[in-house]
Structures are given as structure tokens and as C-alpha cells.
Amino acid sequence: METLRYVVSRFVQSLFALLCIITITFFLARLAPGGPFLDEKAVPEHLIEQMKRNYGFDKPLPVQYGLYLGRLVRGDLGPSLGNKGFTVNEVIAEGFPVSFMLGISGLVIALLVGVPVGVFAAANRNTAVDYSLMAFTMLGICLPTFVIAPLLGEILGLKLGWFDVALWENSSAWVLGALTLGLYYSAYIARLTRGSMLDVLSQDFIRTARAKGVPPGKVLFKHAFRGGITPVVAYLGPALAGLIGGSFVVETVFGLPGLGQHFIKAATNRDYWLINGTVTVFAVLILVMNFLVDILQGWLDPRTRSNK
Amino acid sequence: MPRPFPQPTREGYLPDLTLFSLRGFLIVALLFSVSSCRDESKVDIATREKILLLGNGGEPKALDPHIVSSVGDANILRSTFEGLVTYHPENDMLHEPGVAERWEANADFSEWRFFLRKNAKWSNGDPVTAHDFVYSFHRILHPKMAAPYASMLYFLKNGEAFNKGEIDDFARVGVKAVNDFELLCTLDRPAPYFPDVVKHTTWLPVHRGNIEKFGAMTDSYTEWQKPGNQISNGAFMLTDWRINAQIKVRRNPHYWDAANVKPNGINFYPIDNNFTEEKAFRNGLIHYTYTTPENLIEDYKKMENTPLRIETYNGSYFYRCNVTQAPTDNADFRRALAYSVNQEVIVKYVTRGGQQPAYAFTPPSEDGYHPPDVIHYDPDKALEYLEKAGYASGADVPEFTIILNTSEAHKSVAVAIQDMWKKTLGIKNVKIENQEWKVFQQTVLDINYDVARAGWIGDYVDPTTFLGMWVTGDSNNNTGWSNPDYDRLLRESSLLSDPAQRYAKLAEAESILLDQVPVLPLYWYTRVYLLHPDVKNWNPLLLDNHPYKHIDLQSSKTVKEGAQ
């Protein structure tokens, strides 16, 4: 009962947050100077007026907002103004699977690299191995993706010829994209894992286990690991959302047709419905991820369940 | 916990760009030397299958000839649709018959008759008739359609009035299907260059049944333009469109000249980022890049058998001056600004793409119009004008700002000019302000600036596409400049049918423009791109509108591999 009430209240909170995000985005996008119908070569005033009428932008803003919410409830995100002939639903339906695949592969790489590095560094704390690994991860955090991505393309794509450097169809460029994202996040995860493993390793129950003569490997993986991984799990929610929605740089560098590009281009094109659509999808994603992480965390760490 | 190492700052890890380009060059050289050892690349396969792989800038806004305006969109439409007259594969001054077999004009070039070929077909097998063109011109001019580029059809008599909703009856607009295969265009003013004008995408025909199957004539966002739905009349038809990934066109079996169409298809790749595009080219993924990063141009120039192409392009890069407010309202001050810019230095050291210093606004064309030779770097003259403008020295000039849309390339040019004004004229307080693209467009439209960066690409080969915009009240003027003599000369020129006389009149008008300098001409554009040696019959064109059906693909590798 207690759990159910918790879940329901979290759900209502999320819904409220979502409504706020949708509302703020709607009005902020409209406040931005310029508009979707401006073009490099000037478009005559009477034509701009007509375009506004065609899309219903001549109505008062609150009315448009009401109509928008009405459509949103039915799952209709409206037409895209920058990709004429496509609805925002279609644009997102095409872009999301690409971003999702990039994000998931990136996350898998990040975990496969980050967690073992962190555990290994923690097990060898304050040794040369630990220092060099941590220096390396710091480098990974400091190097932005727009530096790593072209470098990976240059080395793994052009020099070694393992992957294609761009395009989507029949192209392996997405692997480079996933690798860029994965390596970037693995640096965070490694540092996070190391820190929390060190915390756990210094606790009494570990000392007891060691005193009982449990072999070091077993202490590390059986006793310490489950506790040590908790902060990483908490980080996974926002990380996955960030990986899926925030891969603009990677998508641009490798020419991948994901959601990240739409996220940015919609804003620069003043593609109002696409701005609202991508923000909504991204917001839902973050809220869902955080929700799931909360539940997963409770399962991993009994303490979060008892002292809620 | 003590930190074993000092935290590296971000600056320390930023790459040195000069080193980057050097290494880039080495890798290019290496790759080109070893590329034949690698497996067959995507480009090799495509060459064998005769599929042209083209980088095409950004994602198209639409594939409807009546709503697009960008060059990249027009490139795709040129492959799928065919107008009355089309582009010649070697020379933009020449015409290739398209749907029209031949055409003739009356004595003063104000009435044009196009005789359509009887074997022209839509991709569903329907014949292309004069009625299709009337329908299409009606559609783009219809006020409800709100086609952003409808003004291209203001050449037609009453076209403007109909588009603005001043008249409702399309029958009064100067286009008529005399019969199924004869189209009569009555113009608003004589235009000896009319066949050049009708090559533009805005004059392309659409299939009525196709449009109306998916919505009303004037709906601009229906399903008709999607692959599988779209019916077109060009050498190719749309078969695949994935946003931000690719657009594919393949042979149209019903095309009247299908036997002479060389490629089997074209894939257009919307690659925004020019570094990505260049890498894709090196990686053997595309035959052609839409652009080339400026800092790699020198490296490519040094290469043996370089794929780099630098060609004259029908465009002008310039700065608009706001003539409605101080200090740029003073013509002498604007002259001082114009004569103190060393354009040679800009093209040689800043843009580096073989651009030509612009001594006038309209780019000269080889066997056509030659603009008056006026604007050259002349520090003495510049200082003289500064004094005439009432400033004893540059230090007295009030602060003013150059605005530009955010881009490294535009910024570099602006910084160079800022420096030139400082060194030559002593003007110290020139500011540079970036604005995001849409904000920038709005600012220019509102004439809410001092000096604004601008560029203009001609729609067809005639000086009117450049000079027409400076007429009083033109929607692209945006400087507040107005000159009755200029307007009169342009009006008079449009009544002249003899090209030489007309050009002389236009040159007279342009010399007024260059004397008053509401715009500071900087340079004339070039197209800088990379082209794979497999691509044959791709010729330099002033408008860069290549008719794809003539472009052939032949492997350039056979000899090299045989030698190994």
C-alpha cells in the first residue's frame, strides 16, 4: 500500500512536471525573434500572412495553446514546418529508433568499459595503476565529443578502415557514434564506480568479511559490488536520456539521422511544432528513466526502501 | 582525498588547428596512395552500378517545386522534374530543350510561344501537356498557396496582381494553353532572357491528378511529395526519402529521352557539416561534396590529380548599409568604407577559395553583361571621402556595428574588414555582432542595423536578377536606399530588346549603385567542391545547375589496378 501510494504520487508529480515543460516550451518558442517563414531571399509580407493563416498562427496565442493541448492529448504533435509534408510524429518516429540504438549501444559500451575500470582502480587504490586510469578518465571527461568524434573517425574510419565515417544506410558509421558516446560516458561511470566502491570497501561489513577470511575477489564482487554500483544505477537514468536526446554532435559528425539533430535544427528553424514535439519526447524520456531508476534502486539497495 | 594530479583545464586539451590540417593533409596523401589496396569502396560499387552519390548540403525543406527555395532542394527537383527549357550541360548561356521542343518570341520579347514535344510523359505514363503548365503556374501564384518564391512568376502579365489577391480570375494572368501542346506566355514586360527564367524550379510542372489525390491544389504540406506517391516528369523519379539520411531517385522509364539518360539513379545525402562531408569523400562514400572546409583548400590544392574544383559561381558577397540612419546615411561615409576595404586581401588570406574581388555588385559573365569597374582598394580616396563626410579623423566616427549570422567564415571576413577600417580610416569603434540565423533575417528585414553581411545568388543568367533588388521598395532591398534615376533606368532597360543596349542601360544603373554604395561589394562567389574522377561530363557551370542526365560514371581505376 505504502509502495503504491509512493508510485502514484511520483506519477502525478511527473505528469505535472511534464505539463509545465510543455507549456513553457510552447510559449518560449513563440517569444523567440524571427519566425519559421523567414527565408534568405525575402518573402513578401502578404505571403507570410497567408502562411500564418494556413498553419493557424494568426489566432491568439492562448487559443493556439488550447488547440495544441487538444491535439497533444490525441497524440497528434502537428505538422513540421521545416520538413514540409512530414508530421512531427513521422519525424520523431524516424529519428527516435536511430537515437535509441545509438544511446543503448553507447550505454552498453560505457558500462562495459566504465564499471570494470572503476572497480579495478578501486581495488588498486592509490597505486600507479589507479592514478593513471583516473588521469585517463579525467581526460575523457575533459575532451568534448566534438573532439573525440572526429578523431575516432579519422583513426578508426579513415586510417584503419574498420568503419565508415558517415551516412546511415548500409553504413557502419553509427558504431563510431556509439563508441564516441560510450567512451565519453564510460569516463564518468569509471570515476563514479571507483568512488562508491571505495566508500563501500572502507565499511565495517567488508572488514568483517575480510577478517572471516573471504578471498579478496569474492569480497570485491560478492560483498562490495552490489552496494558500490548503486550510484551508477542512479546515474543511468539521466545518462540514457542524455545519450538518446543529446547526441547532436555525434549525429552531426557522423551524419546520422537521429533525434538530436532535429532537437537543434527545430530551434534554429523556428519549427514550432517540432520544437514542442522533441522537447516533449525528451521530457517524457527523462521522467520515465528517473521513475524506473528509483524503482531499480530500491531493489538494489534495501536501505532506500526502508528509510524512504 | 588528495588529488594525485592537477586537474587539466579544458584549454590545454583543445587541439591546435594548424597541426590538424597538416595531419589532415598527410592522411589524405596516405589514403589516396593506399586506397587502391582496399576493398571495393561504396563509390566503386556505385560507379559500376551507375548511381551518382552526391553530397547535398542540408535536409530539403520539401520536394515540391512550388514551395522550396534552397539550392540543395532545387538540385533534387532538377533530377525529378523537367521544365519547358532546361540547363545546358556545358554552358549556362545556352538552352537545352526540355518539355518544349522549340519556342519563339514576338518582336519585342513580351509574348512567348512554347511548342511542347508530344512524347513527354509523366512517370505514370500520362502525357505532359500545356494544361499541366497552366495548372502549375496557377498553383504557385495562388495566394492561398503562399509560395515563398512566387515572385519569380511575376514575369507573367498580372501574375503579381493575382498573387497579391488583387484579381481573382486566373484567366487574366498571362498564360494560356493554346492547345494541348502549345503554351502561350504573355509577359508583364519584355524579357529577351525569358528562356533562362523558365529554367528555374518555380516554373516546373506538377501533375494535377497527383496533387489533388492528396489534398487541395493549394495545400502545401500533403503526402503527394513522398516516394511512391510523387508523379514527376523528369529523367528520374523519387524512390526513397529518409529525413537527414538520404534521398534516392531512380530512372523514370516513361521519360521521353530515357535512352539518353546516363546514370541509373542518384543518391542525395544531406550532410550539413562540411568536415563530415569531406571525410565521407575521402572514405569513398560519395562522388561529390557540396562544399569544402576552407582550411583544407590549400592542402587539396597541393595534391597531385586533386579532386578539388574551384569554379566561378553566379553570386555576390557584400555588406548592406542602413541608409536611413547615421553614420551610414552619408554617401561619402559609405564611399570611405567601400574604398578602404582591401578585397584582394580578403579573398587571398581569409576566404581562400579562389573568390574574385568584386569591383561591382553584379558578377561579370563571359559573353554577357559586364558591370562597370568601380570599387577598388584606394586608401587615399577613402580618406578623402571620410573628410568630405565631415569627419576630421576616423576617431570622430560614432560607434557602429556589423551584424552577421553566426558562422566562423562570416566572422573572419568581418574581423578583417574591421581591421582594415581601423588601419586605413582610423575608425576604432566598429563592433561585430553575431545573430542566430532567423534573428538575423528579421533584423535585416526590419532595417534595424548599421552594416549587415549579405550574399546573393543569381536565379538565372541575367544582371536583372542582381540589380532588380535595389529598386525602391523591392522586398530584398532592405537598406532603405531609393534612387529615382536608378528605378527609371531599370524600367527603361526592361523595354529594350537588344541585349547590348539593355546591358548598357543596366550598367548605367549599376554605376549609380556603385557611386551611392548602399551596399559594399566584397567578392564574387566561387563553388569549391571535391569531385571523384569517376564522374564524367561534369562541367563548370556559372549557375552550378548540372543537368544530371548527361553525367556519366566510368571507373577511373582500371588502369591503375592493371599496373599493380
Is residue B21 over pLDDT 50? no
Residues of B in contact with A278 (CB under 8 A): none
CB contact under 8 A, B31 and A158: yes
B64 vs A85: CB contact, 8 Å cut-off? Answer: yes
pLDDT computed for residue A302 by the predictor:
63
With H, G, I as helix, E, B as strand and everything else as coil, classify residue B434.
strand
Q: How far is CA B336 from CA A52, A75, B191, B252, B432, in A?
A: 42, 60, 37, 57, 19
Higher pLDDT: B273 or B132? It is: B132
Q: What share of chain B is helix, strand, coil (3-state, %, to 5)?
A: 35, 20, 45
Q: b/e string for B154-163 if b means 16 or more Cβ within 10 A?
A: bbbbbbbbbb
Question: Does the pLDDT at position B31 exceed 60?
Answer: no
A90 Cα to chain B: minimum distance (Å): 10
Q: Are residues A228 and A122 in contact, defined by beta-carbon separation less than 8 angstroms?
A: yes
* The predicted structure's pLDDT at residue B498: 83
The pLDDT assigned to B196 comes to 92
Q: What is the pLDDT of residue A111?
A: 93
| DSSP-derived secondary structure for chain A | -HHHHHHHHHHHHHHHHHHHHHHHHHHHHHHSSS-TT--SSPPPHHHHHHHHHHHTTTS-HHHHHHHHHHHHHTT---B-SSSTT-BHHHHHHHHHHHHHHHHHHHHHHHHHHHHHHHHHHHHTTTSHHHHHHHHHHHHHHHS-HHHHHHHHIIIIIIIS-SS-SS-STT--HHHHHHHHHHHHHHHHHHHHHHHHHHHHHTSHHHHHHHHTT--HHHIIIIIIHHHHTHHHHHHHHHHHHHHHH--HHHHHHHT---HHHHHHHHHHHT-HHHHHHHHHHHHHHHHHHHHHHHHHHHHH-HHHHHT-
**Minimal CA separation from B539 to chain A, in Å:** 27
Subunit contact B272:A95, Cβ cutoff 8 A = no
Instruction: Provide, rounded to the nearest whole percent, the portion of chain B with pLDDT above 90.
Output: 71
Predicted local distance difference test score (pLDDT) of residue B43: 93
Containing B246, the helix (H) or strand (E) segment is strand B246-251
- H or E stretch including B382? helix B379-388
Backbone angles phi, psi at B535, to 5 degrees: -85, 120
pLDDT band of residue A277 (cuts 50, 70, 90) is: very high
Residue A177 contacts residue A247 (beta carbons within 8 Å): yes
How many Cβ pairs closer than 8 A exist between chain A and B? Answer: 188
Does the pLDDT of residue B239 top 80, yes or no? Answer: yes
DSSP SS3 for B242:
strand
pLDDT band at A268 (very low <50, low <70, confident <90, very high): confident
> What's the average model confidence in pLDDT over B94-122?
94
Q: Is the pLDDT of residue B10 over 50?
A: no
Residue pair A57/A48 in contact (Cβ under 8 Å)? The answer is no
How far, CA to CA in Å, does B391 sit from each of A126, B398, B449, B528? Answer: 69, 10, 21, 41
- In the structure grid, which three cell numbers stand for residue A93, read together? 518516429
Cα end-to-end span (Å), chain A: 14
Would the CB atoms of B146 and A50 count as touching at under 8 Å?
yes
Residues B72-103: tens digit of each pLDDT: 899 999 999 999 999 999 988 889 999 999 99
* Nearest alpha-carbon partner for B138 in B127, B129, B150, B126: B150
pLDDT (tens digit per residue) in B274-324 = 899 999 999 999 999 999 998 899 899 999 999 999 998 999 999 999 999
Flag whether pLDDT at B134 surpasses 70.
yes
Picking from B24, B42, B441, the nearest residue to A34 by CB comes out as: B441
pLDDT score of B38 = 52
Nearest to B54 by CA among B466, B559, B546, B498: B546
Chain segment A56-93, per-residue pLDDT in tens: 888 999 999 999 999 999 989 988 888 888 999 999 99
Q: What is the DSSP string of B502-541?
A: HHHHHHHHHHHHHHH-SEEEEEEEEEEEEB-TTEES----
Residue B295 φ then ψ, to 5°: -75, 0
**Whether B438 and A34 lie within 8 Å, measured CB to CB:** yes
Chain A residues touching B476 at Cβ < 8 A: 41-42
How far is Cα A169 from Cα B57, in angstroms, rounded to an integer? Answer: 17
User: Which carries the bigger pLDDT value, residue B454 or residue A84?
Assistant: B454
Of residues B502, B498, B503, B493, the one with CA closest to residue B369: B503
**What pLDDT does B8 receive?**
35
**Range with lowest mean pLDDT among A212-221, B93-102, B126-135:** A212-221
Contact A270 B221 (CB under 8 A): no
Q: Which residue of B61, B282, B438 is in closest CB contact with A158?
A: B282
The 8-class DSSP code of residue B56 comes to -
pLDDT band at A221 (very low <50, low <70, confident <90, very high): confident
The 10s digit of each residue's pLDDT in B46-59 is 999 999 999 998 88
Give dist(CA B150, CA B277) in Å, integer: 32
What's the pLDDT band for B484 if we cut at 50, 70, 90? Answer: very high
What number is the average pLDDT over the span B404-411?
A: 90
Asked if A268 and B243 come within 8 Å (Cβ–Cβ), the reply is no
- Burial annotation B70-85 (CB, 10 A radius, 16+ → b, else e): bbbbbbbbbbbbbbbb
Longest dimension (CA), chain B: 92
Q: Above 50 in pLDDT, residue A308?
A: no
Q: Give the 3-state DSSP-derived string for B465-504, with helices as H, strands as E and coil as C.
A: HHHHHHCCCCCCCCCCCCCHHHHHHHHHHCCCCCHHHHHH
Report how far residue B264's alpha carbon sits from residue B13's, in angstroms, rounded to the nearest whole number.
48
Query: In the prediction, which pLDDT does B14 show?
Result: 34
User: Which of B36, B73, B239, B279 would best serve as a mutation to test chain A binding (most A beta carbons within 10 A)?
Assistant: B279
Q: Closest CB to A42: pick one of B4, B42, B476.
A: B476
- pLDDT > 70: what percent of chain A? 96
Give the nearest chain B residue to A42 (CA atoms): B476
Q: Which residues contact A16 (CB under 8 A, 6 or more apart)?
A: none
Q: Which of B38, B244, B279 lies closest to A261 in CB terms? A: B244
* Interatomic CA distance for residues A44 and A18, integer angstroms: 38
**Phi-psi map region of B555: left, alpha, beta (phi>0 left; psi -120 to 50 alpha):** beta
Cα–Cα distances (Å) from B193 to B134, B176, B189, in that order, read 20, 20, 11
Residue B160's identity, in one-letter code, is E
In the predicted model, is pLDDT for residue B34 greater than 80?
no
pLDDT in tens, A26-41: 999 998 888 888 877 7
Sequence letter at residue B38: R
CB-CB under 8 Å, B478 with A42: yes
Q: Which residues of A touch B10 (CB under 8 A)?
A: 142
Write the residue in A38, A46, A84 that is nearest to B221 by C-beta. A84
pLDDT score recorded for residue B18: 39
Predicted pLDDT of residue B564:
35
pTM recorded for the entire structure? 0.88
- A220–chain B nearest CA distance, Å: 21
C-alpha distances out from residue A202 to A123, A205, A220, B174, Å: 11, 9, 12, 89
- The chain A residue lying nearest B439, using CA atoms, is A34
Residue of B223, B283, B404, B475 to mutate, testing the A interface (most A Cβ within 10 Å of its Cβ): B283
Nearest CA in chain A to B219: A54
- What confidence tens digit (pLDDT) does each residue in B262-287 have? 999 999 999 988 899 999 999 999 99
Shortest Cα–Cα distance, B277 to chain A (Å): 8
Query: Cβ contacts (< 8 Å) between B164 and chain A: which residues?
Result: 44, 46
Amino acid at B207: H
The predicted-structure confidence for A5-16, as pLDDT tens digits, reads as follows 877 888 888 899
B208/B206 Cα distance (integer angstroms): 6
Distance CA(B71)–CA(B303), nearest Å, equals 29
Nearest to A268 among B149, B277, B437 (CB): B437
Q: How large a percentage of chain B has pLDDT more than 70?
A: 92
Best mutation site among A37, A38, A148, A254 for testing chain B: the one with the most B CBs within 10 Å? A38
What are the grid coordinates assigned to B256, written together? 521521353
> What pLDDT is attached to residue A209?
87
pLDDT > 50? residue B36? no
d(CA B266, CA B535): 12
For residues B362-384, give the mean pLDDT. 90
Chain mean pLDDT for chain A: 87
Give the pLDDT confidence score for residue A303 in this predicted structure: 65
The string of pLDDT tens digits covering residues B179-218 is 999 999 999 988 889 999 999 999 999 999 999 999 999 8
Distance CA A193, CA A199 (A): 10
End-to-end CA distance of chain B: 62
Q: Which of A300-304, B500-504, B515-519 has the highest mean pLDDT?
A: B515-519
Residue listed under C-alpha cell 562541367: B539
Per-residue pLDDT band at A246 (split at 50, 70, 90): low
